[in-house]
């Protein structure tokens, strides 16, 4: 799926009015967004959740830019478990299960984000440097490999990295919002360090929210001609290529849903309202999708609606777990397995579709090779006939 997405970041040259782009540019973002919406369930305020379900949701913590910490010592572990039982706030339980102090959630998430960004920027600088080097050194051995200039090749890879960078930024909205809201809510104390952390978290939230809204405004002001430029499509195409031109700013709605979801999971601690807020937000978003129909293809719309239905079902199951009694293990076990089953079923559907696409790709490649071989055979036979016709007068 990642390979198909990277391939789709290199759009073919099309006419000005053709903004549809490759059809598989939306699949990876939809899939990862679904996994993030499942991962955020790990922050649900469930008192004594079913252990396999908690481990299942915690396994997606890397999608939230949170890497599991080292195992604490036995006495501190018992103390953490005791405090976790007293405090039913989901994100605190999540931090305890990951062996991360809750005061470090904000720093660790942003550190992981900056590490990922730094690695991608280094890769971008490498490709740009190689493209510049090969463009300045002409020669048949330096800039020609099978009639494809190396400079153009590295420039295309540079555009792919930039397009992937934009996509990673969109995927970072939900987790960074969650940890920033939590940091802002727990840092309201007289100490200077906590006050600075609170101010920084609030500033970050303003930047993230403003970026979500600003991206929509920028796209809305663009003309069809400007959005059809090759470099614009390669870098920012993940935001609008799979949207109809009148709905080119709809990406802001999707980003705001992720922003609100992250804020709800870390800013609402009451089990009776936390999951209901998520159900309301995603239900409203699904209704908007059905009414507006912003996507280019019906398949994209169908998959997006299906994903939202599964999200809502999982949130309802988590709400039922939160409302169940603390010692009602059977109910929590049943609800947890149903939620895990729905998640695995949707992941399997994405996996099967990817396998089908790979199979079609291989079949097309084989057909192309066979067609090339047949054309080469016909060409050889034609050349032989022409040679024989030229030899006949000489033999006579």
Contact 309, 286 (CB under 8 A): yes
Query: Quick one: DSSP state of residue 178?
Result: H
List the single range of 22-31, 118-127, 381-390 with lowest mean pLDDT.
381-390
What is the pLDDT, as a whole number, of residue 132?
85
pLDDT in tens, 136-167: 765 554 444 444 467 788 888 999 999 999 99
pLDDT in tens, 323-334: 888 888 899 999
- pLDDT higher for 360 or 109? 109
Domain ranges of the chain: 2-370
Q: Please give the structure tokens belonging to residue 136.
A: 């300045």
Measured CA to CA, the distance from residue 169 to residue 149 in angstroms comes to 31
> Between the CA of residue 290 and those of 25, 297, 306, what are the distances in Å?
21, 13, 11
What is the pLDDT, as a whole number, of residue 116?
95
What is the pLDDT, as a whole number, of residue 103?
84
pLDDT in tens, 238-293: 999 999 999 999 999 999 999 999 998 887 656 668 889 999 999 999 999 999 99
> Between the CA of residue 238 and those of 75, 100, 232, 241, 330, what are the distances in Å?
49, 33, 10, 6, 44
Mean pLDDT of the chain: 81
Q: Which of 103, 111, 108 is nearest to 186 (CA)?
A: 103
What is the pLDDT, as a whole number, of residue 75?
41
In the predicted structure, residue 29 carries a pLDDT above the cut 50? yes
With a CB cutoff of 8 Å and minimum separation 6, the contacts of 34 are 307, 310, 311, 346
What is the pLDDT, as a whole number, of residue 85?
44
- Span 8-21, average pLDDT: 49
Q: 363 — phi, psi (to 5°)?
A: -65, -45
Q: Sign (positive/negative) of CA torsion 154, 156, 157, 159? A: positive
| Confidence (pTM) | 0.82
In the predicted structure, residue 366 carries a pLDDT above the cut 50? yes
What is the pLDDT, as a whole number, of residue 86?
41
Q: 89 — phi, psi (to 5°)?
A: -75, 120
List the single range of 7-16, 124-133, 202-211 with lowest mean pLDDT.
7-16
What is the pLDDT, as a whole number, of residue 379?
55
What is the pLDDT, as a whole number, of residue 67?
84
List the single range of 8-22, 294-308, 353-367 with lowest mean pLDDT.
8-22
Confidence of residue 384 (pLDDT cuts 50, 70, 90): low
Measured CA to CA, the distance from residue 122 to residue 275 in angstroms comes to 40
pLDDT in tens, 162-205: 999 999 999 999 999 999 999 988 765 555 566 788 889 999 99
> Between the CA of residue 194 and those of 110, 149, 208, what are the distances in Å?
17, 54, 21
In the predicted structure, residue 338 carries a pLDDT above the cut 90? yes
């Amino acid at each position: 799926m990642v390979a198909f997405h990277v391939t789709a970041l290199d759009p073919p040259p099309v006419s000005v009015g053709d903004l549809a782009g490759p059809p598989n540019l939306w699949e990876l973002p939809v899939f990862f967004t679904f996994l993030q919406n499942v991962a955020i369930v790990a922050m649900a305020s469930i008192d004594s959740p079913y252990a396999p379900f908690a481990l299942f949701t915690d396994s997606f913590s890397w999608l939230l830019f949170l890497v599991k910490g080292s195992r604490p010592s036995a006495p501190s572990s018992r103390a953490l478990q005791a405090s976790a039982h007293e405090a039913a706030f989901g994100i605190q339980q999540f931090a305890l299960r990951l062996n991360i102090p809750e005061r470090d959630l904000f720093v660790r998430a942003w550190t992981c984000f900056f590490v990922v960004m730094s690695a991608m920027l280094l890769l971008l600088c490498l490709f740009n440097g190689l493209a510049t080097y090969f463009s300045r050194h002409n020669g048949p051995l330096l800039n020609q490999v099978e009639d494809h200039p190396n400079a153009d090749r590295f420039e295309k890879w540079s555009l792919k990295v930039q397009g992937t960078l934009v996509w990673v930024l969109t995927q970072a909205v939900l987790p960074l919002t969650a940890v920033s809201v939590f940091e802002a809510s727990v840092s309201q104390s007289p100490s200077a360090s906590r006050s600075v952390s609170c101010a920084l978290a609030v500033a970050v939230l303003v930047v993230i929210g403003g970026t979500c809204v600003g991206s929509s405004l920028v796209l809305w002001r663009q003309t069809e001609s400007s959005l059809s430029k090759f470099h614009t499509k390669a870098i920012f195409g993940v935001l609008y290529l799979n949207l109809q031109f009148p709905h080119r700013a709809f990406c802001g709605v999707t980003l705001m849903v992720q922003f609100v979801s992250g804020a709800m999971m870390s800013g609402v601690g009451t089990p009776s309202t936390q999951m209901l807020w998520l159900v309301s937000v995603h239900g409203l978003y699904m209704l908007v999708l059905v009414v507006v129909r912003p996507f280019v293809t019906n398949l994209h719309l169908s998959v997006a609606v299906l994903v939202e239905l599964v999200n809502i079902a999982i949130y309802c199951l988590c709400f039922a777990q939160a409302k169940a009694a603390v010692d009602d293990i059977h109910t929590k076990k049943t609800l947890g397995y149903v939620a895990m089953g729905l998640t695995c079923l949707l992941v399997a559907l994405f996996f099967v579709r990817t396998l089908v696409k790979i199979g079609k790709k291989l079949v097309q490649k084989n057909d192309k090779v066979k067609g090339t071989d047949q054309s080469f055979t016909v060409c050889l036979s034609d050349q032989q006939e022409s040679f024989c016709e030229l030899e006949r007068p000489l033999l006579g």
